[in-house]
Chains A and B, each alone.
Chain A
Amino acid sequence: MKRRFSLFTYPIMDIKAAEAMLNRRAAAGWRLERVWLGLLAAFVPAEAPVCYCIDWSDPVRGDGWSYGALLAQAGWRRHSRVTYRVIYEAPADTTPIQTDSELEYQRFRGKVLRRMLIGGGVVAACLLFLLIVGLAAGIEGPRWTDVAGVMAHTSFGAVLLLLLPLLTAGGLAWLLRMGLRLWQWRRCARAGEPFPVPGPVSAGVAASCCLLGWLWAFSLLFPLALDAVDGSVNRGWALGTFIGALIVLLRREEPELAHRRRYAAVMMAVAAAAIVLPHVTPDGLTAPFYPRSPMAEAQVLEGEDTWCVHFPEEASLLVSYSRWEEGDELDDSRFLSGTCWNTRSTALADRLLAEYRAEAGAASRPPLAGYAGVWYVPAAERPEDARYDTWLFRRGNAVLRVECNQGLLDESHLEAVWNQLGSGA
């Protein structure tokens, strides 16, 4: 059968643009077949002329049978639901469902706005928290080792953090558009005029932005899957989600809550995967996706009585982090600790190195003569009362800081460390 497709990612405040698009298609002889994942509308040739109305609906509390019955008697057949909106179809020229803008505005406020405000409040609280953290960090500058540490912890967190500015900008744009619509609708409701229909360009831009938002959300599935395989997803969260979803599936049997059961089923599957996957997948399965940790098995000191402890390394799609310590069982003056970062981002590597150099008091110190990516700061030249010499290495996007007893390392060790650093940079 011949089909036509249209993007259906209209943000909720563009309900009239979505309705106008459906009716444009209907006027051209097409009827809506279905809306795929709330993103793509598929149309098939209409056997008889039809028209569409999109009505507000509370996804948790339905309108009751009498509302649907009255709409059905008036010719409106419920076609599908997309979040807060229900699409109705009727023979062409049927009287629209809403013919009074003030009552329509009240319906929006009663069914949707209150629920959106709860979600919006949570988002606003998160944004406020980020703003406070950002301002606090902005006074002294962010600690890039903390930022990289968060990014190394989980892939999901890393991607989320990377795209946070974009997400925040998108959220603010969404809120501004919502505010504009509320102002317009309120004005129309007071004047008894119909709600305005956003222009095709404005609606198209908003729909494209929403599509990008959806793609971004889908793109988080891959890092989430990596975290699940690594066992990085919080077990308490996974178990709680699984039990909560199970309760919803067992107890909420009302037909109007089918969407909620579907959502619960998806969340249950995600939680189950997070619990089970780490136990059934081989170790190292996700390693090819992560930046290598070049110093993961490093040992710089030589001798039979030396000890070496490698702490658990952390790695995500964007950053890997490893730390180790070495010493001599007999000689206290031989101690060394190393911290190594390897990132996908040159900018982040630059900032990590700059932070380490500033901490060591070597911000303006040139690299070691003959070594473009090595800085050496003897303990005596460090700003605070430091016990250890500091060695800093930068090769590619790998940054290594070694702190050791005074004079423990010399240039004879550099080549080995430099080569090892190059193996993963």
Chain B
Amino acid sequence: MARKKLETLTEQMFYVLLALWRERHGYGIMQTITELTGGRVNVGAGTLYALLERFEKDRLIRFTRMEENRKYYQLTDAGEQALRAEYQRIQRQAADWERVMEEEGR
């Protein structure tokens, strides 16, 4: 079944939005994600470009400025809301996991 992105964020989407909690440029986002996840998640430059275009179109992020040939972006209120919703979804998943494991005694 096709993934309904922006309703359920993919891992790469989640980390791109998370990295934009603070204003960053494209390559800065890639570096931040790699550092944040210890290299577990890497976002390709082409993929990041497509995501930024899409997030900007959906007003989850906004373009803030241009400096040294680099475009800077930051999360919007709608983006923050989407990120929080995703975090809560993941939390609920984790809570469900813990409850089932407790019930099973593992």
Number of A-B contacts (CB under 8 A): 68
Q: Which of A102-110, A283-291, A338-346 contacts B (4 or more CB under 8 A)?
A: A102-110
Taking CB atoms, residues of chain A closer than 8 Å to B46 are 55, 67, 71, 97-98, 103-104, 107
The verdict on A69 contacting B69 (CB below 8 Å), with A106-B50, A190-B2 known, is yes
Q: Is the CB of A70 within 8 A of B48?
A: yes
With A69-B69, A73-B70 known as contacts, the answer to whether A99 contacts B47 (CB < 8 A) is yes
B45 in contact with A190 (CB, 8 Å): no
Contact A192 B47 (CB under 8 A): no
In the complex, whether A100 has a CB less than 8 A from a CB of chain B is yes
Instruction: For B26, list chain A residues within 8 Å (CB).
Output: 70, 73
The B1-60 residues at the A interface (CB cut-off 8 A) are 1-3, 5, 10, 12, 26-27, 30, 34, 42-51
CA distance A99 to B26 in the complex (A): 15
Interface contact B71-A66, CB-CB below 8 Å: yes
Give the nearest-CB partner of B50 in chain A: A103
A88-106 at interface with B (beta carbon < 8 Å)? 95-100, 102-104, 106
A100 touches B47 (CB 8 A): yes
Instruction: Report yes or no: A95 in contact with B3, Cβ–Cβ below 8 A.
Output: no
A71 and B2 within 8 A (CB):
no
Query: For the complex, is A76 an interface residue (Cβ under 8 Å from B)?
Result: yes
User: Which one of A65, A74, A98 lies within 8 Å of B27 (CB-CB)?
Assistant: A74
Q: What residues of chain A lie closer than 8 Å to B44, measured between beta carbons?
A: 74, 95-100
Complex Cα distance, B14 from A303, in Å, reads 99
Tell whether, in the assembled complex, residue B51 and residue A74 are in contact, meaning their CB atoms are under 8 Å apart: no
Q: State in angstroms the CA–CA spacing of A96 and B12 once bound together.
A: 14
Closest Cβ neighbor of A69 among chain B residues = B69
Question: Cβ of A95 and Cβ of B69 under 8 Å apart?
Answer: no
Q: Which residues of A contact B71 (CB under 8 A)?
A: 66
- Taking CB atoms, residues of chain B closer than 8 Å to A70 are 26-27, 45, 48-49
Q: How far is the CA of A55 from the CA of B50 in the complex (A)?
A: 13
Question: Looking across the interface, which residue of chain B has its beta carbon closest to that of A189?
Answer: B2
Return chain A residues, CB-CB under 8 Å to B42.
Answer: 95, 99
Q: Contact: B50 with A97, CB < 8 Å?
A: no
Which residues of B have CB within 8 Å of A104?
A: 46-47
Which residues of B lie under 8 Å from residue A74 when comparing CB positions? Answer: 27, 30, 44-45
Task: Report B-chain residues with C-beta under 8 Å of the C-beta of A102.
Answer: 2-3, 5
| CB proximity of A360 to chain B, nearest CB, Å | 67
The docked-state distance in angstroms from the alpha carbon of A102 to that of B44 is 13
Whether B50 lies near A190 (C-beta < 8 A) is: no
Which chain B residues border A55 with CB–CB below 8 Å? 46
CB within 8 A of B43: which of A71, A76, A95, A107?
A95
How far apart sit A69 and B68, CA to CA, in the bound complex (Å)?
11
Chain B residues positioned under 8 Å from A65 (CB to CB): 69
A residues in contact with B34, CB < 8 Å: 95
Complex-state Cα separation, A98 to B46, whole angstroms: 5
Q: Is the pair B12, A100 in contact by a Cβ cutoff of 8 Å?
A: yes
Chain A nearest CB: distance from B52 CB in Å? 9
Produce 1/0 per residue, A205-227, CB < 8 A to B: 00000000000000000000000
Shortest Cβ gap from B31 to chain A (Å): 9
User: For the complex, what is the distance from the CA of A73 to the CA of B31, rounded to whole Å?
Assistant: 11
Q: CA–CA, A71 to B45, complex, Å?
A: 5
Residue on B with the closest CB to A101?
Answer: B47
| Chain B residues within an 8 Å CB radius of A66 | 49, 71
Closest A residue by C-beta to B69: A69
A98–B12 CA distance with the chains assembled, in angstroms: 12
Are B27 and A73 neighbours in the complex by a CB distance under 8 Å?
yes
Contact B69 A98 (CB under 8 A): no
Given contacts A69-B70, A73-B26, A74-B27, A98 and B3 within 8 Å (CB-CB): no
Which residues of B are found within 8 Å of A71, using beta-carbon distances? Answer: 45-46, 49
Assembly CA distance A255 to B30 (angstroms): 28
Q: Which of B5, B43, B70 contacts A99 (CB 8 A)?
A: B43
Indicate which residue in A95, A96, A103, A190 contacts B51 across the interface (CB closer than 8 Å).
Answer: A103
Q: Is the CB of B3 within 8 A of A103?
A: no
A189 to B10, CA, bound (A): 13
Find chain B residues with CB under 8 A from A98 CB: 44, 46-47
| Bound-complex Cα distance A190 to B42 (A) | 20
Q: Return chain B residues, CB-CB under 8 Å to A76.
A: 45
Which 10 A-B residue pairs are closest in the complex by CB-CB distance? A73-B27, A74-B45, A99-B44, A97-B46, A95-B42, A70-B26, A103-B50, A100-B47, A71-B45, A99-B47
25 contacts between A and B (CB under 8 A): A69-B69, A69-B70, A70-B26, A70-B48, A71-B45, A73-B27, A73-B45, A73-B70, A74-B27, A74-B44, A95-B42, A95-B44, A95-B45, A98-B44, A98-B47, A99-B12, A100-B12, A100-B44, A100-B50, A102-B2, A102-B3, A103-B47, A107-B46, A190-B1, A192-B3
A95-B34, A106-B50 are known contacts; what are 10 more A-B pairs with Cβ within 8 Å? A70-B48, A73-B45, A97-B47, A98-B46, A99-B42, A99-B44, A100-B44, A102-B3, A104-B46, A192-B3
